[in-house]
Amino acid sequence: MKIQFDCRHRIRAGTEETGDGGWEVCLDPPYNMKPGKCLVYSFGISYKWSFDDYMDQEKKCEVHAFDPSIGQDDFNRSANIHFHNLGLGGKNWTNAKKWKMYTLGSIVRLLGHKDRTLDYLKIDIEKSEWSSLEAMYQEGVLAQVKQLGIEFHDVPSNRKRVSIINRLYELGFRIYYTKQNFFQRKRSRLTRRTVYGCMESHFVNINFYKRNKKR
């Protein structure tokens, strides 16, 4: 994946934990976080809280964290960090592991954020990102997302998944940072080249930039 947006002020929010943990955040206007007003969704915790803690402590954002796999009931980690025992998926259902899964649009409505801008959406959900993104496209919910940090798994393994990624570009999302997971390498069935099984990609929604320039 090639860089498509030149972010001049980029930070690592959180710490690297065995190659994982922190996430890149673009702070160029209009993507900079406004303390006390920013809203963050963080899907996939696995007991790694450094990103969420950073967005709370350094940026004073309202953070909603989600991960049904860690066996925790809903709780407040701090005044700003709210944990929900829910997972992100392509439909609303309870899976075989008894995890409650919801689409992003359903979660936004459940939390009363339908009319708010989602300043940062972080997704690291072990292959469930594909069906989740397809549901987001149908719901139109990505229009309210300013930044997206997502780890893609098994990409590009087939044309359908390539088209799912290309759809992000069509909706106005541009890559400003990407990082390969060097521990996840294999040969692509599509291109026959050696590819990395996991790709951490960070996007800004260019539509917010265009709106800002018109003011």
Domains of the chain: 10-212 (3.40.50)
Average pLDDT, the chain: 91
**Beta strands, E only, 110-172:** 118-123, 145-153
C-alpha R_g of the chain = 17
Please state the separation of Cα 209 from the chain's center in Å: 19
Give yes or no for a contact between 94 and 113, defined as CB atoms under 8 angstroms apart: no
Rounded distance between C-alpha atoms, residue 70 and residue 90, angstroms? 20
Hey, is 75 helix, strand or coil?
Answer: strand
Residue type, 85: N
Is pLDDT above 90 for 20?
A: no
For residue 83, the cross-strand partners are 65, 75
Rounded distance between C-alpha atoms, residue 164 and residue 167, angstroms? 5
Q: Which of 96-100, 128-132, 211-215 has the lowest mean pLDDT?
A: 211-215
How many Cα atoms within 13 Å fall on the side-chain side of residue 212? 11
pLDDT in tens, 38-90: 999 999 998 999 999 999 999 999 999 999 999 999 999 999 999 999 999 99
- Would you call the peptide bond into 68 cis, given omega within 30 degrees of 0 as the criterion? no
**Per-residue confidence at 180, pLDDT binned at 50, 70, 90?**
confident
- Higher-scoring residue by pLDDT: 195, 172: 172
Q: Which helix (H) or strand (E) holds 202?
A: strand 198-205
pTM of the model as a whole: 0.92
